[in-house]
C-alpha cells in the first residue's frame, strides 16, 4: 500500500507541477514573439486586452479560467482557449512521462527532468509557430548550447543511445550530441534547400523556415542522431498527411487551399514520440514495409 500511495502521490505532484509550468509556458508563448516584451518585464502577468495585472487567483491553472467562465475579470474579454489548453496538455504530458519513467535515483531524475523540460518546450514551440509561423531563437540557440553542455556534464543522457561507450562516457556523449546536432539541423536545411529549388518563385516563401532547422539541431543534441532522425521522419509524415487532407478538404468544399502550414508542431510531435516511445517511427515503417528476407 505504501508503494501504491507513493506512486499516486508522485503522479499527482507531477500533474500539479505540469499545470503550473503550463501557466508559465503561456507567458513564454505570448511574450517571446512580441517586441518589447521579455520573460521578466513586465514582472506580473497581465490581460492582453485591458492591460490589467492579474492577481494570484487569476493565475491558478485551469481553475481560474473555469471560475471566470473564460473571461477577464476586469474587461470581460474572452480568454482564448489556448491558455487552458496549453496548461492541460503540459499537465497531461508531465503525468504521462512521470508514469512511464518514475525517478528512482539521481540519474533517472535527471533524465526525467530533461524529458519534462523538452516536452514543455515542444508545446511552447508548437503554439508560437501555429500563431506566428516562427520558432524563436530565444529558445533554439540557447537550447543548442545547453544540450551540448548537458551531454558533456551528464553523459548518462545518452547512455541508452546506440553507439554509447561506457568506458568513454563523456566522449561518446559529446559525439552523439554533436552528430545529433549535425543530422537534426543539417538534414532539414538540405530538405529546405531542395524544396525551395523545386517550388516556384511565387510560393518559395512557403518552404521550410530556418527556425525548424535550429529547432531540430537543438533536439539532436539531446536525442542523438538516430532518434532525431526518427523524430524528423515522424514529423515529415504527419505534416505531409495533414497538408494533403487540408488540400483535399479545401478542394471539395470550395475553400482556399493552404499556401503553407507551420512545420514546428509536427516536428514537436515527432520529438514527443521519442520521449514516450524511442524509435517509434522506424518501427512503424518496418512494420508497414518490412525488409525483404
Over the stretch 36-45, which tens digit does the pLDDT of each residue have? 888 888 878 8
pLDDT score of 196:
64
DSSP string, 198-267: HS-GGGGGGS--HHHHHHHHHHHHHHHHHHHHHHHHHHHHHHHHHHHHHHHHHHHHT-PPPS---SHHHH
Over the stretch 127-136, which tens digit does the pLDDT of each residue have? 999 999 999 9
pLDDT score of 246:
84
pLDDT band with cut points at 50, 70 and 90 for residue 206: very low
d(C-alpha 279, C-alpha 200), whole Å: 35
pLDDT score of 145:
97
The DSSP 8-state label assigned to residue 158 in this structure reads G
pLDDT at residue 16 is higher than 90: yes
The mean pLDDT of 23-49, rounded to a whole number, is 89
Element (H, E) at 177: helix 169-198
pLDDT score of 218:
98
d(C-alpha 236, C-alpha 56), whole Å: 41
pTM above 0.85, yes or no: yes
Domain boundaries, the chain: 1-104, 133-293
pLDDT at residue 137 is higher than 90: yes
**Can you count the helices (H) and strands (E) in the chain?**
9, 0
pLDDT band with cut points at 50, 70 and 90 for residue 157: very high
Amino acid at each position: 500500500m505504501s508503494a501504491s500511495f507513493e506512486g499516486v502521490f508522485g503522479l499527482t505532484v507531477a500533474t500539479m507541477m505540469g499545470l503550473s509550468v503550463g501557466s508559465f509556458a503561456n507567458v513564454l508563448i505570448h511574450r517571446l514573439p512580441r517586441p518589447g516584451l521579455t520573460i521578466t518585464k513586465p514582472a506580473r502577468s497581465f490581460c492582453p486586452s485591458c492591460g490589467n495585472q492579474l492577481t494570484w487567483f487569476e493565475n491558478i491553472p485551469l481553475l481560474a479560467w473555469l471560475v471566470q467562465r473564460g473571461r477577464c475579470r476586469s474587461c470581460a474579454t474572452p480568454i482564448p482557449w489556448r491558455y487552458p489548453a496549453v496548461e492541460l496538455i503540459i499537465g497531461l504530458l508531465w503525468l504521462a512521462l512521470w508514469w512511464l519513467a518514475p525517478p528512482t535515483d539521481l540519474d533517472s531524475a535527471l533524465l526525467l527532468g530533461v524529458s519534462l523540460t523538452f516536452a514543455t518546450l515542444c508545446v511552447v514551440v508548437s503554439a508560437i509557430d501555429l500563431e506566428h509561423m516562427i520558432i524563436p531563437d530565444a529558445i533554439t540557440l540557447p537550447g543548442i548550447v545547453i544540450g551540448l553542455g548537458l551531454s558533456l556534464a551528464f553523459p548518462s543522457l545518452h547512455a541508452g543511445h546506440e553507439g554509447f561507450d561506457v568506458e568513454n562516457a563523456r566522449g561518446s556523449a559529446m559525439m552523439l550530441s554533436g552528430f545529433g546536432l549535425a543530422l537534426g539541423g543539417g538534414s532539414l536545411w538540405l530538405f529546405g534547400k531542395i524544396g525551395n529549388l523545386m517550388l516556384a518563385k511565387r510560393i518559395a516563401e512557403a518552404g521550410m523556415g530556418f527556425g525548424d532547422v535550429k529547432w531540430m539541431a537543438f533536439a539532436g543534441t539531446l536525442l542523438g542522431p538516430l532518434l532525431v532522425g526518427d523524430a524528423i521522419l515522424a514529423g515529415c509524415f504527419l505534416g505531409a498527411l495533414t497538408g494533403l487532407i487540408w488540400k483535399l478538404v479545401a478542394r471539395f468544399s470550395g475553400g482556399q487551399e493552404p499556401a503553407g502550414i507551420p512545420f514546428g508542431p509536427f516536428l514537436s510531435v515527432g520529438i514527443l514520440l521519442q520521449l514516450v516511445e524511442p524509435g517509434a517511427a522506424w518501427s512503424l515503417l518496418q512494420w508497414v514495409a518490412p525488409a525483404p528476407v
